[in-house]
Structure formats: structure tokens, C-alpha cells
Amino acid sequence: MGAEWREGGTRRTPGRAVAYATCGVVLLAGCASMPDSGDLRGVESTPRQDTQVRVFAMPPRDDAQPLEIVQGFLEALTSDDPGYATARQYLTEKAAQKWEPERSTTVLTDGPATDAGPTGTRDDADDYSYTLTGTRVATVDAQQSYAPASGEYGQVVHLSRDKKNGQWRIDALPQGVVMGKSDFQRNYVSVNKYYFASNTTADGSDGSRQPMAVADPVYVRERVDPMTQMVRSVLTGPTSWLRPVVRSSFPTGTALPKGVTALTPDDQNKLTVPLNDKAVHIGQGKCDEMAAQLLFSLRSLTPAVDEIALRAGGTQLCSLTEERAAAVAARGSETNPGYLYFIDGQHRLERMTSGSGNTKADPVPGALGDGAKALRSVAVSRDEHSAAGVALDGKALYVTSTVSGSSIGDPVLQSKGKTETDRLTTPSWDTQGDLWVADRDPAAPRLLLLEKGAGQPLEVLTPGLDGRINAVRVAADGVRIALIVDKGGKQSLFIGRIERGQGNAEQASVSLQELRSATPELEQVTAMSWAGDSRLVVVGREAGGVQQVQYMQCDGSVPEAGTLPGLTEVTSIAASEDSEIPLFATSKEGLLWLPGGSGWRTLKETASAAFYPG
Amino acid sequence: MSGDSAASAPGRSSGARPERPVGRRTPGSRFARLLEGGLLQGGVQGSPVLRLLLRWVRRPLLPVMRLWRRNIQLKVVVTTLLMSLGVVLLLGFVVIGQVRNGLLDAKVKASQSQATGGFAVAKQKADEAAGAAAADGTPADGGASQNVIEWMSELVLSLSSGGQGAFDVVTLPPGDVSGVARGPRASGFVDPDKSVPEKLREQVYSSTGAAQSYSRIIYLNDKESQPALVIGKQVNDPNGDPYELYYLFPLTQEEKSLSLVKGTLATAGLFVVVLLGAIAWLVVRQVVTPVRMAAGIAERLSAGRLQERMKVTGEDDIARLGEAFNKMAQNLQLKIQQLEDLSRMQRRFVSDVSHELRTPLTTVRMAADVIHDARVDFDPITARSAELLADQLDRFETLLADLLEISRFDAGAAALEAEPIDLREVVRRVVSGAAPLAERKGTTVRVIGDQQPVVAEADARRVERVLRNLVVNAVEHGEGKDVIVKLAAAGGAVAIAVRDYGVGLKPGEATRVFSRFWRADPARARTTGGTGLGLSIALEDARLHGGWLQAWGEPGGGSQFRLTLPRTADEPLRGSPIPLEPKDSRRNRGALDEAGLPRGGGQKSATVPMQPAGEQLSAARSQLTPRMGTSAPTADPTALPGNGARVVPRPAPGTGSGGSGGGRGEDEPRAVGAAGAAGTGGAAGEAGAGRDEHPERTEAAGTGDVPGLGDAADTGDTRETALRGTSDRHRAGAEGSNEQGEAFRGR
């Protein structure tokens, strides 16, 4: 017995050793081969670094020919030279003093061509001139505001031979700089400056009225200390187009103190902005607004700024973090819509939770959702408590609540148009709860404003409007309005400025001022929606092209990566100011959406209009 | 010199020197002497500062060096570590080099094909643009150049967008800017001028083909610069103007791979080195541990513990070593035991024989006395026989007494009856006892150093016996010259030296004189008294006191015997107040003469130099005390005390301040014992010869040495007996006062 035990014991020991050795070998083998399971973790997306091409300006060569001088000068304009110091070396001293490159930037399709001018055809002459020619695309004015332009460009550059050293230099040239479109896109970047709407406020989270931030898009040179440029630009004030309806919290005359050359955020992404003496006696609230303006503006340039601190007179006035900025001022892109609304195949208003990817649709509570009235188009107010619906025939506009059990009531507006397309457009709510709608009656085309969605419609003055309004969309900031204007069969997008005059006590006068074309190259704009503080998503067709969906800046420029996946016969498009929320569109295919930018996907077979609140 | 005195014997120099330099040298030269001394001393190794620095550096290293010398395990482990480190480094360099070349080859091939494609695209685009311009019908002169500015920017953009991060594209104006040249363009924040090497530009400009070079990409933004392969070619733009197009391929990935390999190799190498070190440590430990054990056992064996044995386990080489070792120890123990037994037996035999002989001898003595008393009645021949009988019986009795005494010592039965005595009394008794003999020989016995009491705890009888032996010997071998008995006391020791100027001792005889029945010439018949055991007994007496008895002598220069006793019985001896070699030895005198130092002519030629004893003694007292306190003389372990002749001079002068005894107190008695043992051996070897040493000495003196031979022996002896004190004195410079202090140098 005992012997057996002992035998068993001795036999077990090598067995165990073998087991241990096997375990060790398996472990080692695990280390020596690639893992095929486990280690689950999230992947941080590394930002795709774009291949930026830089042009390095060269000073003029000795004994360079006139053509070389002109070419070198034009090339120097496309470089990142901060003050165009190299470009100035191509100029005579006098011309260099007079030349103001900041005055304007002219963008040509293909860059300026140089044609030998009328004088100086002889080689031995002491003066020479070239004409810079090209097709204009846009101009950026001294306020850095972009404006689409068209037409031929033709400016004369005159060269003369320096008497002393015999070198050719430019002695007469147009102000500003000129460059090709691709150079412009390479060198400049569109950023939003933020100001506050003069007479529009938004409901703050704590019930108080917050100032509404209005984006003012400008172009800055991307690689010439854009942050400081941006701060200077914000301090200078809004561009002239927006100036009548916005205010800046910075006291007039506020600027960076002399000697400040470059601003860079510190390790904690905090940017300290020194201000001159004008800003010394500023209240805390005002200072927060100032900081919010700068913070919003700089974050549109780079997300690497989380906090703004303002200093003046040697003391810190205030400091504002990104989290607190939301409590200081409201911004269109910060207000998330609760639902996406659409009109289904039975002409009822339905809604889906926005942004969650949940595609389950419910009828909207209230009169519009129960199918009692067939609807053509609807607008839901920004607080999502009321909705305005246009009947299927387009004749009548109803305003009702989205509370269940509400009745549809009487129409608040009726159109006298003869056909469906000559009647009421899709209405639009602004932040103050006023309802905008256009009547397309060819006999009396007009833009109407219903204060709080009720009462007597107020006809909005539209000076300078040429054509019939086909669609209306008020921006979240309440000071800009996007219109599709139909003129002679061409539909184009216009951006207007809403000015609320004082008028008399009962009847405030509201007008749209300085309408400007945002899509000069598009012929058939069928649908549009605001898709950011200064960005719209537009469905349109270029002359001789096909319909496409693209982003547009409200100043008319096309942002980089502006084009979206193509879609045909779009009847409506829904976009939110918050760029995180997906796009929806309706077409023949029904209701479609664009999750993550990969391509359009069909959600519902039949739907006629999709929209977010507003 | 000051350095020397500071290092070796501060006490001595302070006592002996102070007045000397003032008299001999100008006071101002003291500093110069100091400096000179420092330089002189440092002459071997450099300036004193450097030496100081060296010493300062070496001091913390000394324990390490000592460990290194003594520890074989450390040696093996360190050697293994160093060698494996070397191998790992070599391997690492080779592997890294090969990996680097392989990576580069692959990268270069891929880059070249990519760049070649890029150049083709650039050419094609230029052709297309030129063709389009021609088709548009734009005038060739000014119009054709219209789009190049933008065209080239777009070209760079399109070329560089093909390889996001994999490469960057740079265009540069051609090396010779003669026509319309475009400015440099670069993608990806590359600094074109700094990133493209000048030599590559020259090459690209001068040849039509593509060229490549390694460079370092410098970035305009905060990105760190990195190594890169640059491939460039001269291409034409749509206008036909040349420009240089460069592809820059960063070698970031390759560098990362290389650093991965490097890291891997470094880690692996570190592991290998550490592992090898540990393995070496373990292996050496397995070997060294038994060896150390064996060493320990051997040390204990050599210390006399013969029963020690090694532990033997296993059957390996170490076990065999252990077994052999144990066998050896066993045999040794056995042999030693046998020898001891034999020796004991012999001693007992001698003792027994002496006792047994006594009884018949007494009877024979009484009978002989009767015969002797009645000799006048005999005929002259018989009367002469009776006289001879009585004489030889006297000798026989003395011999027997000595034998008994010796056997008592051998049996350990001798007891010391120590009490404080004044040695001067003893000396006086001995001198007066030897006076008749001295008178007969015409010798004067003089006593030096008896002005003050020389008290020691000693057995007066034994001391007197020793002294009598020494004095009688000195008188007998003094050849009628003076015999000087010198007394001195210092520290914990008293010493009595007996100096004669007789025939002296040959080299090597200084130890043998203490051997029993020793004689230099066995053939010579013994004529004078003495049993041949006197010095042996004297040595045993000295040893019983814990003291030393040492002899010094030189052929023709006389000899000196020195008895050193501790002041109190149980105090170990550290030195002797009297140098073993007298200062008037030939060698000392010769050395002084050689040094050419001034001394009195009388002193030079004096055969019997005399120093005022009182001065000597007082000087000795004053110097000895600090000396004993500060620096105990370091003894050369090889020096056999009791034999000043064997003290080997140390090469380092700084440490050579040892006494003339040449050893530490604790060493000396043992060595004396050894000398005694040797003497016993010698006696055994020459048993039966029964002759005294003294006649042999006289004979040696009588036969005389050939002068040349004597000189040679003298110098040999000189070398042998070169004492540190002497070498010190060489440096110190022999001056008048130094002569006086010299007598106490040995302390």
C-alpha cells in the first residue's frame, strides 16, 4: 500500500513538471506570435495632415528682365511673407511706400496673365508696362470680407529702370494683391468673427436673455499668424455689411497695445490677450462678452484655444473658458434641435429624435400630426412648441401648438395665387418666435412676417429685391435671412440683413437690406438650409451642370470640402446649425439621410419635406 | 628630508637634529631644502603635488585593489563581465549595421521608383500644360508664362498629396538662375534651402539624370528634424524653363525600426551580460568555496592545529583534493608526532644519563680527590696523571651540570624567580668575577651606562649566569683588547651588550653560536674550558625571561652579544635600547666614510670608539619615549629576530625605521626559539664532537682571512645586516650629533 502510494507520488512529480513546462511554453508562444484576440480599446483619430505647399519668395535677381520682375512679384504675392517684404523688393521705393497689399485681394480663376503693355515694346527703353489680365472670381476687401465677383480683370503694371543701378523695378501697380483661385485657397482661410445681434436675444439656460452671437465670415492669411490677425480683426469691428445689425462688446478704439506682435496660447490652451487702455474700465459682464467674442472667433480658426483671458492696464480683466462661454452668449451652432420633422406620404407631420440614429418616426402631437389636414410644408418653431403648416394646396397657413389635443384653428394667412406653386412658400421661424413666409402670387409677391405666429401679417420691405421669393430661411441669429429668388426662370440664393426699424408704435417696420448673391454660379437653386453659423447647405445646379448638394459660405465662397455626395431631384433639405447633426433630404426616393458623410441612405419610401426646427 | 623624517621617525629626528642645520646651513636655505627634499623624493613619480593627488586617488581604491588581488571569484566574474560585454558590443554593432543597411536598401529602392514616377508625372504635366497653352493659341512670348506660378504650386500640391507623410516635394530654382525662375516651393512645412544639400543641387544641376543623397529635413514648424533620403532631378516647366524637383523621403520609419532593433539588442545584451556574470559567479563559487575551505584548513594546519581535516563529499576533483590533503595532513601529523616522541625520548635519555652518571662520578671524584691529594707521593708521571684526572673530572662535572640544566629547560622544569634587581650589581659582580681571567689575558673590561640604576624584574642568578658566560667568552676571545659592557634601559626594556674586538664572527655564525656543542672547526682540539652549552643555556635563560639574546659579529671586527629583558616579567618586548650592531662596526664606519661626511680623524681610525656614556643615556631616554609612543617599528616579517644578520633591508626608506633587532617584540622570542631549535638540530648532527665554539672562533681569527675574502665577507655581511636605521642615517647625513644618536637608532 505504502509502496504504491510512494510510487504514485513519484510518478506525479514529473507529470506536474511537464504540465508546468507546457504552460510556460504556451505562454512564451503567446508572446512570440501576433495577438489574435483581446485588448479592446477605442481608436483616437489622428488628424489628417494636409499637404500644404508653401511658396518661398525670392528677392529679385540682379539684372532681371522686366518680365522676370513682374513674374517674381506675382509669385512673391502668393508666398507666406508676412508683410510682403520680398514682394516690395520688386517695387521702387516710392511705389513700395504707396502700395497697400492689405487694401484688397483679387482672386482670378487662373492667376494673372501678363500681357506686354502698349509702351516700352523696344528692348532698350527705360520703361516698360505689362497688363495683368484674368477672369475675376472674387474680391476680399480691406475688411477681409469676401464677395463674389465676375468680369475681366485688367490692371497695368508699369516698370522703369532705376537710374542709379540700372535695375528694373515696378513703379506703378494696382493696390492690393492679385492671385489665382488655387493660390487663394491655399493661402487664405475663412473664419468667423463673432459679434452680437443688436436687437435679438435668445433664451438663456437660466431664463435670462442672452445676447445672440452672429458670425461674420472673413478671410485671413492662413500661415501668417492667423491668431493675431483674427484678434485684430475682431477688435476692429464687424464688416460693413453686418455693422447695422450687430454690436461689438469691445469699446470703440479697443485694440492690441503697441508692440504686441504675436499671440500664442500657452500649455493649457489659454490665450491671454492684452488690450489697450480703452478696455480698462469694463464691467465683468461686458468683459465676459468680449472674451466670448474672441473665444468663439478663435475657436472657429483652431480648436486649440480653450480659454481666453483679457488683460488691460496691467491687470487681468476676466477670463472665460469654453464651458462658461455658453452661458455668456448663445450661438446658433450650440442649440441642438430636439427632433427632425418631416411630412410623410399621408401628408402628416412626423418627427424623429435628431442625432441619435434612431429612425423610428412618430406623428407629432397636435393637430398637424393627426392627419386632419393634408400638409404641403411645415415649420416648427425653434422652441418646438408651435408649428406653422401650409395646406397641401398652398393656400392657407395654419399655426398651432405641438401639444397633443390642440386644434388647427383658422388659417392665419391665405394666398390668392392661382396655382400651387404661386401660393405660400415654406414658412420659417426666427429665434424670437416670429413667423416668416413668402407669398408667391405673381400678382403681389411679398414677404410676410407674423409676429409670434399670429396677428396681422406684416409685409417686409425688400428694397433691391429683383424677382419672386421662392423660399425663406431665417438664420438662428435672427439677423440674416436666406432667400431663393426666382427671376426669369433662374433661381439663385440671396442673403439679406433683417433690419427692424422703429416705425410707429403699433407697426414696427421690418426690412431686408443689402441682399447679396451667395451663389452667382448656380442657376437652379431648389432647396437650402442653414448649416452653421455662416454656412448653408444648398441644392443647386450650375449652368450646364447637374444638380448637386454643397455647402456655401453665406458670403458666397465655397468652403474646402464643400461638395457633398450627389443626389438628384431634391425637394427639400434639412440641416442644423450644429454640424454634428446629420443632413436629411427628401426627393423622389423619399426621406434620405447622410450619416457620417459616406453616402445618402433612404429612411422612408415616401416623404415630401424634411426640416429641423427653425 | 623633512618628508622622510616625518614619515619614518619623527621622534628621533626631533631629538637628534635641531641644532645641526643651523650650524651647517644658512637659515634661508631651509625652505629650499624642504623643496629640494620634496622634489628629490618625488623624483621617481613626479612632483609632490602629483604624488599627493595620486595617493589621494589611490587611497579609496586600495581596498578594492586588495579585494581584487585576493578574490579569485571577483576576478573571474569581472573578467567574464568584461569579455561578454565586449562580445555583446561587437555583435550589436554588426547586427545593427546589417539591419541598417538592409532597411536602407529597401527604402532606397522604393523611394527611387516613386521619385522616378514623380519626375515622369511632372514632365507629363508640363507637356500637357504647354500643349494646352499652344492649343489656346496664347502668344508664346508673354502669355505662355502666365500660369507657371500657379501651375507649379499645383504641381507640388498634386505630387505631394500622393504620399501623405511618406514623402515631401520641393521645387527649387535651377542652380544657375539665368532665365525666369520660380521661387522655391515645398510641401509639408519643409524648409527647402536647408533640407536639400548643396552638393546634391550641384549634381542635379550638372547632370540630366536624377541624383540622390542623404540629408536631414528641417521643418519650418515645430516638427523635429529627421534624416531623409533626397532624390532630385532637373525638370522643365511648361515654358521650357528648368527647375529642380526634389523628393524628400523621411527615414522616420527606418529610424524607428533601427531604434527598435537597438533597444532589443541593448536589452538582450544587458540580460546576456548579467546572466553570464551570474553564471560565472555561481560556477566559480562552486569551485572556490572548497578551495577556500582547503585554504582555511591549511592555514590552521600551518598554525599547528594538526588535527584539522577537510570535509570531503562526493567524488569529484575537489573531493580528491580534499582526500589527498587529509592524507597529507595525517602523514604530517604522524611524522611530527614521531619526531616529538623521539625528541622527548632523547631529552629524557640525556637527563637520565646525566643523573645516572652523577652517582658514580661522585664516587670517582672522591677517589680522584684522594689520589690528587696524595700525588706528591707519586712519581712525576703518575702525579701528572692524577692532576689530569682531577682537571678532567672538573670539566666532566661542569659538563654534567650544564647537561642537567639544559635537560631541565627541555623538560620545561626551569622556573623563573623574578624580582626587581639592579642589573648594575649583577654586572659588577660578573666583572669582578672575571677580573682574574681578564688580568691573565691582559684585557680591560669596561662598563658603560652604569651611572643610573638599571632595574628590571629578573632572576638574578640566571642573569648573572648569562652575563658571566658572555663576559668570559668576550674576554677569552677578545685577544687582549678591551671588552665593553654597556647597559641601557628605555621603554619597557633593559639591555646589556657585551662588545669585544676580537676575531669576530663569520657571516651566518651569529645564529649558530647558540647551538649546543657548536663549533666552527670540529677538528680542533679543545684546550680551554667551556662545555659548549653555555650560550645555549644563556639563550634558554633569556627566553625564560621573555627576553632576547642576540649575537652580532663581523670577521676581524669583533662581536657583540646583547641581552634584552623586559622591565617587568610579563611585558612583551618591542625593541631594545641598544642596537645589535654597534655603531663602531666596520660597516658603519665604512658607510660613514663613503658618505664623505665630516667626522673627526680620531673617530675614523679609532678601533675602540668611545662615547661619553652619560650623554648617550640621557639622549636615549629623551628620544625613546616619544618614539615608542608614536610609531612602533614595523618589522619585516621575513626578519628572524634573534638574528640581526638576517634582517633584510626594506626597499622603501620611509618605513625603514625599525630597530636594529629588526622585528617586533612578539616576533623575536619565537625566532630566538627557532634559532635555538636549529641549534639543537645542529647539536644532534654533530653529536659527540663535544667541542666548544670558542676555540673555533679563535682559530678563525688565527687562521685569518685573506684580506680580499674578508672584505667580500664584510660587504656581504653589510648587505645582510643592512638595517633600516642605517639607511635612514644615510639620508639623514652623518653629523657629529647624529653619531651620538646612532646608538639608539635601533629602538
Q: Classify burial at B377, counting beta carbons within 10 Å of its beta carbon; exposed 0-12, middle 13-18, buried 19 or more.
A: exposed
Distances from the Cα of B53 to the Cαs of B48, B65, B653, B655, in angstroms?
A: 8, 18, 21, 21
Answer yes or no: is pLDDT of A323 > 70. yes
Tell me the pLDDT band of A601, cut-offs 50, 70 and 90.
Answer: confident
Indicate if the pLDDT at residue A244 is higher than 80. yes
pLDDT tens sequence across A461-492: 888 888 888 899 998 888 899 999 988 888 88
Contacts 24+ apart (CB under 8 A), A348-356: A348/A375, A349/A375, A349/A378, A349/A387, A349/A389, A354/A576, A354/A581, A354/A612, A355/A578, A355/A580, A355/A581, A355/A582
Q: How far is CA A468 from the centre of its chain?
A: 26
How far is residue B736's CA from residue B738's CA, in Å, rounded to a whole number?
5
For the full predicted model, state whether its pTM sits above 0.90. Answer: no
Strands B558-566 and B548-554: antiparallel
Q: Does B248 touch chain A (CB under 8 A)?
A: no
Q: What are the CA-CA distances from residue B656 to residues A63, B43, B668, B727 (Å)?
A: 93, 19, 17, 8
B140 close to A (CB below 8 A): no
What radius of gyration do chain A's Cα atoms show? 31
- The whole-number pLDDT of residue A39 equals 80
- Give whole-number Cα distances, B521 to A434, B478, B534, B689, in Å: 150, 19, 18, 10
Chain A partners within 8 Å of B142 (Cβ) = 67, 113-116, 130
HSE value, Cβ hemisphere, 13 Å, CA-based, for B583: 22
In whole angstroms, give the CA distance from residue A30 to residue A591: 51
Mean pLDDT of A22-37: 80
CA–CA separation, B636 vs A79, rounded Å?
91
Structural contact between residues A499 and A513, judged by C-beta atoms closer than 8 angstroms: yes
| Residue A337, C-alpha cell as written in the block | 434641435
Query: Residue A128 in 3-state DSSP?
Result: strand
- The model's confidence at residue B310, banded by pLDDT at 50, 70 and 90, is confident
pLDDT at A123: 54
User: Does residue B338 have a pLDDT over 90?
Assistant: yes
* Confidence label for A60 from pLDDT (cuts 50, 70 and 90): confident
Give the pLDDT score at A301: 85
Smallest Cβ–Cβ distance between B185 and the set A54, A67, A74 belongs to A54
Inter-CA distances, A405 with A352, A365, A367, A402, A470, Å: 20, 7, 7, 9, 33
Question: From the candidates A31, A55, A69, A188, which should be mutated to test the interface with B, based on the most B CB atoms within 10 A?
Answer: A55
Q: Is the dihedral of CA B623, B628, B633, B635 positive or negative?
A: positive
Query: pLDDT tens across A129-143, in order?
Result: 888 888 998 999 988
Q: Is the ipTM of this complex over 0.85?
A: no
Ordered domains of chain A (ranges, CATH): 66-175 (3.10.450), 188-330 (no CATH), 333-611 (2.120.10.30)
What pLDDT does B601 receive? 37
Contact B421/B455 with Cβ under 8 angstroms? yes
Backbone φ and ψ for B708, nearest 5 degrees, come out as -65, -40
| Sole residue written with cell 465655397 | A558
Beta bridge partners of A118: none
Strand partners, B490: B493
Contact with chain B for residue A85, Cβ under 8 A: no
Q: Name the residue among B88, B109, B104, B80 with its Cα closest to residue B262.
A: B88
Instruction: Judge whether residue B12 has pLDDT over 70.
Output: no
- With an 8 Å Cβ cutoff, are A53 and B160 in contact? yes
Contact of B408 with B414, CB cutoff 8 Å: yes
**Whole-angstrom Cα distance, residue B181 to residue B155?**
16
DSSP letters for A302-331: -TT--EEEEEETTEEEEEEEHHHHHHH-B-
Whether B94 has a pLDDT exceeding 90, the answer reads yes
In order of A381, A484, B478, B678, B704, the CA distances from A397 in angstroms are 14, 20, 160, 143, 160
| Parallel, antiparallel or unpaired: strands B185-187 and A53-55 | antiparallel
As separate numbers, helices (DSSP H) first and strands (DSSP E) second, chain A gives: 8, 37
Looking at residue B101, its pLDDT comes to 92
Q: Supply the pLDDT for residue B341.
A: 93
Neighbours of B295 (CB within 10 A): 11
pLDDT at B593: 54
Distance CA B666, CA B379 (A): 62
Q: Which position has the higher pLDDT, A246 or A360?
A: A246
More confident residue, B221 or A196: A196
Q: What residues have CB less than 8 Å from B570, skipping those under 6 apart?
A: B546
Mean pLDDT score of chain B, rounded to an integer? 73
Beta bridge partners, A495, equal A482, A516
User: What's the rounded Cα separation, in Å, for the pair B93 and B69?
Assistant: 33
Chain A residues with CB-CB distance to B181 below 8 A: 58, 61, 68
Q: Does B341 touch chain A (CB under 8 A)?
A: no
Q: Is B33 or B738 the better-scoring residue by pLDDT?
A: B33
Nearest to B662 by CA among B629, B628, B632, B639: B639
CA distances from A23 to A39, B387, B669, B740 (A): 21, 111, 72, 90
Average pLDDT, chain A: 83
Q: Hunting for cell 678591551 — which residue is that? A: B482
Lowest mean pLDDT among A293-307, B523-537, B696-710: B696-710
pLDDT digits (tens, 9 = 90+) for B631-672: 333 333 333 344 333 333 344 343 333 333 333 433 333 433
Q: Which of B138, B149, B193 sits opposite A111 (nearest CB)?
A: B149
The enclosing H or E element of B411 equals: helix B380-411
**Residue B594 near chain A (CB below 8 Å):** no
Given this model, what pLDDT does residue B633 score? Answer: 38
Q: Does A457 touch chain B (CB under 8 A)?
A: no
Gap from B318 CA to chain A (nearest CA, Å): 32
Distance CA(B139)–CA(A114), nearest Å, equals: 11
User: What is the pLDDT confidence band of residue A344, given thresholds at 50, 70 and 90?
Assistant: confident
Instruction: Please enumerate in sequence order all residues whose Cβ is within 8 A of that of B11, keeping only pairs 6 or more positions apart, or say none.
Output: B623, B624, B625, B626, B627, B629, B630, B631
- Whether the predicted pLDDT of A187 surpasses 80: yes
Q: Is A137 helix (H, G, I), strand (E, B) or coil?
A: strand
pLDDT of B14 over the 50 cut: no
- Provide the phi-psi class of B655: left if phi over 0, else alpha when psi is between -120 and 50, else beta: alpha
Comparing A20-24, A90-94, B70-74, B111-115, the range with the smallest average pLDDT is B70-74
Give the Cα separation of A79 and B625 in Å (integer). 97
Distance CA B738, CA B258 (A): 78
Is the separation of the CB atoms in B380 and B387 below 8 Å? Answer: no
Which DSSP helix (H) or strand (E) runs through A435? strand A435-439
Whether residue B189 lies within 8 A of chain A, CB to CB, comes out as yes
pLDDT value of position B278: 92
Residues of chain A found within 8 Å of residue B179, distances taken between Cβ atoms:
68
Over residues B328-352, the mean pLDDT reads 88
pLDDT of B87: 92
Listing DSSP states for A551-574 in one string gives EEETTSPPPTT-B----SSEEEEE
The string of DSSP letters for A277-309 reads: GGGSS--HHHHHHHHHHHHHHHHHH-TT--EEE
Which of A31, A46, A49, A54 to probe by mutation at the B interface, max B CB count within 10 Å? Answer: A54
In this predicted structure, what is the pLDDT of residue B271?
92
Average pLDDT over every residue of A98-118: 84
Which of B143, B145, B157 is nearest residue A71 as measured by Cβ atoms? B145
* DSSP of B612-637: -HHHHHHHHHHHHHHHHHH-PPPPPT
Residue (of B517, B523, B514) closest to B548 by Cα position: B514
Strands B445-448 vs B483-490: parallel, antiparallel or unpaired: parallel
What Rg do the C-alpha atoms of chain B give, in angstroms? Answer: 48
Q: Is the pLDDT of residue B80 over 70?
A: yes
Q: DSSP 3-state assignment of A513?
A: strand
Which structural domains are found in chain B, ordered by start? 2-70 (no CATH), 111-136+143-258 (3.30.450), 309-414 (1.10.287.130), 421-596+613-742 (3.30.565.10)
User: Do B484 and B499 meet the contact criterion of CB atoms below 8 Å apart?
Assistant: yes
Of the candidates B678, B698, B623, B695, which has an alpha carbon nearest to the alpha carbon of residue B10? B623
- Cross-chain residue pair A48–B187, CB shorter than 8 Å: no
C-alpha cell at B195: 533640407
Q: Partners of A492 in the beta sheet?
A: A485
Q: Which residues of B614-640 are buried (b: 16+ CB within 10 A; e: fewer)?
A: eebbebbbbbbeebbeebebebbeebb
> In this complex, do A56 and B186 lie within 8 Å of one another by their Cβ atoms?
yes
A67 contacts B153? CB cut-off 8 A: no
Averaged over B388-392, what is the pLDDT? Answer: 87
pLDDT digits (tens, 9 = 90+) for A404-425: 877 888 888 888 888 888 888 8
**Residue appearing with cell numbers 670540529:** B522
pLDDT, tens digit (0-9, with 9 covering 90-100), for A362-377: 888 888 888 778 888 8
Residue A155 phi, psi dihedral angles, 5° rounding: -135, 145
Interface residue A111 vs chain B (CB under 8 A)? yes
pLDDT of residue B96: 92
Is the pLDDT confidence value at A58 over 60? Answer: yes
A55 contacts: CB under 8 Å, gap ≥ 6: A75, A78, A79, A80, A183, B153, B183, B184, B185
- Taking CA–CA distances from B144, the nearest residue in chain A reads A113
